[in-house]
Structure 1
Amino acid sequence: MKFIHTADLHLDSPFLGLQTAPDALWQLLQQATFQSFEEIVTAACEQAVDFVCISGDLFDSQAQSIQVQAFLNQQFQRLAEAQIPVYLGFGNHDYVVPQQVQLDFPANVHLFGAQPTTYQLTTQDQKTVAITGFSYHQRWVTETPAFPARGTETYHIGMWHGAQRTGQAAQDHYAPFTIAELLQQHYDYWALGHIHKRQTLHEQPFIGYSGDPQGLRRSETGPKGYLLVTEQSGQLQPQFVPTSVINWQNVTVDVTGAKRMTTLINQITDQLQALPAQQHYLVRLQLTGTAQLTPQLQQRIDNGELLQYLQQQAQATPTWRWPVALEVRYQPTTAPLQQFDEKYWQAAAETVFSTENILKTAAPLAGYQFMMDAFATPEQAAALRTATTKLLQNRALKDAQKHVD
């Protein structure tokens, strides 16, 4: 027995903040999600898997372009010709609406409704399998869907698009669950979707996220892909297979002692060239050891001149090492926020950067689903808190340097 577990493909999703990228890179980005899914379909056919599970957010939104519909039907037809069924649940981005019902999927594609539904099949090696899943019927699902108990099949697989329960109403918008609740069902595998990071929540039975096949944001660093699940000694074991066309990467460059712009450029270029070959990268550069940079060098970094030059140079390489951002991390010998009482700073930060407060502040953006989804994550709250702390530190250090000068 063998199957593929994937989720969060977000077909045709835009790469935000990269609209100024060169045409050749932009074309690569526009095709990245499509190419990743095409690789999954090719692997399914070559591996002769028994079925494919897609645990939500196949699309990036409820309405799909003609291009997306045509591409998807072509790929599903390839699987149909290989006699490979697909089990598909819609998530919070592509929740069930009339437009999706009208999609003319091949007969091998089995859709889950708003309530958990179970499909049965018999694999090539005569194993009986039950697959239970559900689809979102609206953007937020706050109640835990009631899954049926395990049946008498050889294997029972659950498909779930959601996040672990936190106990905070502002965060539990996405079919909240606990590991204990899933284990109570005695299923043999839980194919999770929604979190764009590959994670194992429980070893056996496996409960985990495949992550997205193509990273879409700066926070989604490293290789992305799907899970190829095989039967081994009566257990279902997942193996990660990369598919990302281009990887997001954070690169830290120590520029201690750099006195000239050419030195800075050479140090950064060396780090970019050290990235593994034969792979495209979107790079977030972070400079450390910057305390002794001259005001002239600092200004050329702050006004974007250095980043612009690095981007121009990146266009001449056979594989993309595209710098999307260049940040300076100040490293003062004394804490620049020492004038603040640490206890009060921490207390204020807990309130200001809570998910509830962030969502309240972002309320004017409620019409933009992808932004509200991002703001609702604990990771975004932590990122905002870290960025604000760095901003205050950098400003305090600059003020201190002015007084010294």
Structure 2
Amino acid sequence: MARFQFLHAADLHLDSPLIGLSCKSADFAKKVELASRQAFDNLVRTAIEEKCRFVVLSGDVFDREQRHYPTGLYFVQGMKRLGEAGIKVFVVLGNHDAGNRFTDKLRYEGNVHVFDRKHAGSEPIEEVGVVVHGRSFPRWDTDENLALGYPAPTPGVFNVGVLHTACTGNAGDHAPYAPCTVDQLRNHGYDYWALGHVHGFAVLSEVPHIVYSGNLQGRNPREVGAKGAVLVTVEDGKVVAVEHQALDVVRWAAVTIDATPHTDRGPFIDDVRNRLAEAYEEAGDRALAVRIRVTGKTALHHELHLQRTSVMADVEDVSATLGQEVWVEKFLVATEPPPAPVAVDPTVAGRLDTEIRRLAGDGYLAARIEEKLAVIRTKLPKNAHAEEFLERMKREMADRAANVALSLIDEANHALH
């Protein structure tokens, strides 16, 4: 059996918005808007440059909420470019694809095979001695174990299983669609399982290889680090290399800064700049969106809370010195004050301090915030992004309000002493 390469990708989510970034600036909004398409173009280019014999796409090419038909046509054109290079493509539809109305209306060239929704099938590639097996989601909320119905391996060839699944114990916070187990896949007899649905690159097994490629382009602050596809090299019927190829255009990063040693804002901002520079260097030539979280028991605690706007302006100023494509997506302050050098006045500030902590601790503030958010919820469009925003506000606002109030009290107390 000859040496050959193929590319495994999943969760392209073409034209899916990158949550939380489009309002940062006009230039960055454009970069964000094009990110998933440019990552897809990188996928096509890589397959051609590496002379891959075929490409497998393990589901969720599109978003379930995506209704823009030109998005589908853009994907079809990419498949055509692969066909012109002699590259076959094998696609299973994932939960998002199954819920998208235009998925079945797309018409592909002869190099593309989309696996059936009703039963698993097998497609041979005789010139390289490969059989690709797969099944598409019959509906978006599929909860049956689709892998149970996959055909037995074809003897004497390299068998690839293409599956969109929440593999038990490895799905993280992803919905438990089409669940299966690693042992089940391992015992099925295929040489390589190309998985989709989980958005992080992961090798679940090496004998045989069971691999999540991760998504092609990070879409939110939880999807940090390199995103892309997997280049697989096969020689004499054995996998000899599994290489993750970074194809993303906008990179997400999370930076945590311990402010404990800082007593002045200047050195703290220098620390921020150094950490951002490290993240930018790791991202290569990509646009970088960073979420910064500040922790520690620090003398800067009150300043970080009470002068949040000016601190944030300083942070954005230093990020601008690193390059035109570094954006601070969010600046989170989770610090604590250092031990108070003097006792708090028990007749005024101390009583206020105690009362605010009581209100925050017994859920009073959270309940009042929930009431306000309930009113706001009726005025927002009903979609996942709006719900995510409201849930985040519910989690964060009570603590933030209490911190600001306590900082004001403590600052006043220090001024009196």
Fold similarity call, TM over 0.5: yes
Identity among equivalent positions (%) equals 28
Give the aligned partner of residue 161 of structure 2. Answer: 158
Indicate whether 1:307 and 2:308 are aligned.
no
Say which of 70, 75, 100 aligns to 2:73.
70
TM-score computed with the length of structure 2 as normaliser: 0.76
Indicate whether 1:50 and 2:57 are aligned.
no
Indicate whether 1:289 and 2:296 are aligned.
yes
Query: CA offset at residue 171 of structure 1?
Result: 7.7
Give the aligned partner of residue 274 of structure 2. Answer: 270
State the AA in 2 paired with 1:142.
D
Query: CA offset at residue 67 of structure 1?
Result: 3.1
Residues 165, 270 of structure 1: alpha-carbon distance in 2 compared, 3 angstrom cutoff:
closer
Give the aligned partner of residue 242 of structure 1. Answer: 246
Query: CA offset at residue 225 of structure 1?
Result: 1.2
Say which of 222, 226, 231 aligns to 2:229.
226
Query: CA offset at residue 233 of structure 1?
Result: 5.1
Say which of 21, 24, 27 aligns to 1:21.
24
Say which of 305, 318, 326 aligns to 1:321.
326
Query: CA offset at residue 310 of structure 1?
Result: 3.0
Residues 171, 318 of structure 1: alpha-carbon distance in 2 compared, 3 angstrom cutoff:
closer
Question: Do the aligned partners of 2:276 and 2:319 also contact (CA within 8 Å) in 1?
Answer: no
Indicate whether 1:179 and 2:182 are aligned.
yes
Q: Output aligned runs, 1:36-47, within 5 Å.
A: 36-47=39-50
SS in structure 2 of the partner of residue 289 of structure 1? strand
Provide, for residues 74-112 of structure 1, a one-character-per-residue CA deviation record: whole Å limited to 9, x for no partner. 211111101111001111111166522211211211001
SS in structure 1 of the partner of residue 142 of structure 2? coil
Say which of 8, 12, 26 aligns to 1:9.
12
Residues 215, 231 of structure 1: alpha-carbon distance in 2 compared, 3 angstrom cutoff:
same
Give the aligned partner of residue 330 of structure 1. Answer: 335
Comparing 271-280 with 196-205, which one deviates more in the overlay? 271-280
Provide, for residues 23-49 of structure 1, a one-character-per-residue CA deviation record: whole Å limited to 9, x for no partner. 111111111111111111111111111
Query: CA offset at residue 152 of structure 1?
Result: 1.8
Give the aligned partner of residue 92 of structure 2. Answer: 89
State the AA in 1 paired with 2:134.
G
Indicate whether 1:120 and 2:121 are aligned.
no
Query: CA offset at residue 137 of structure 1?
Result: 2.3
Give the aligned partner of residue 348 of structure 2. Answer: none
Structure 1 runs not aligned, ≥5 long: 335-344, 346-361, 376-380
Residues 10, 332 of structure 1: alpha-carbon distance in 2 compared, 3 angstrom cutoff:
same
Comparing 6-15 with 309-318, which one deviates more in the overlay? 309-318
Question: Do the aligned partners of 1:58 and 1:90 also contact (CA within 8 Å) in 2?
Answer: yes
TM-score computed with the length of structure 1 as normaliser: 0.78
Residues 397, 70 of structure 1: alpha-carbon distance in 2 compared, 3 angstrom cutoff:
closer
Give the aligned partner of residue 253 of structure 1. Answer: 257
Give the aligned partner of residue 337 of structure 1. Answer: none
Give the aligned partner of residue 358 of structure 1. Answer: none
Q: Output aligned runs, 1:350-361, within 5 Å.
A: none
Q: Output aligned runs, 1:318-397, within 5 Å.
A: 318-330=323-335, 368=383
SS in structure 2 of the partner of residue 249 of structure 1? strand
Aligned equivalents of 2:236 and 2:82: distance in 1? Answer: 28
Q: Which has the larger radius of gyration?
A: 2
Aligned equivalents of 2:164 and 2:71: distance in 1? Answer: 21
Aligned equivalents of 2:401 and 2:311: distance in 1? Answer: 19
Aligned equivalents of 1:235 and 1:394: distance in 2? Answer: 59
RMSD: 3.5
Provide, for residues 308-361 of structure 1, a one-character-per-residue CA deviation record: whole Å limited to 9, x for no partner. 443355456534221111112335789xxxxxxxxxx9xxxxxxxxxxxxxxxx
Provide, for residues 146-199 of structure 1, a one-character-per-residue CA deviation record: whole Å limited to 9, x for no partner. 111112241111011011236x9x987410001111122100000000000001
Say which of 177, 200, 205 aligns to 2:203.
200
Comparing 390-399 with 229-238, which one deviates more in the overlay? 390-399
Aligned equivalents of 2:167 and 2:328: distance in 1? Answer: 34
Aligned equivalents of 1:137 and 1:183: distance in 2? Answer: 24
Structure 2 runs not aligned, ≥5 long: 340-360, 362-376
Residues 8, 97 of structure 1: alpha-carbon distance in 2 compared, 3 angstrom cutoff:
closer
Query: CA offset at residue 60 of structure 1?
Result: 1.5
SS in structure 1 of the partner of residue 109 of structure 2? coil
Query: CA offset at residue 295 of structure 1?
Result: 2.8
SS in structure 2 of the partner of residue 323 of structure 1? strand
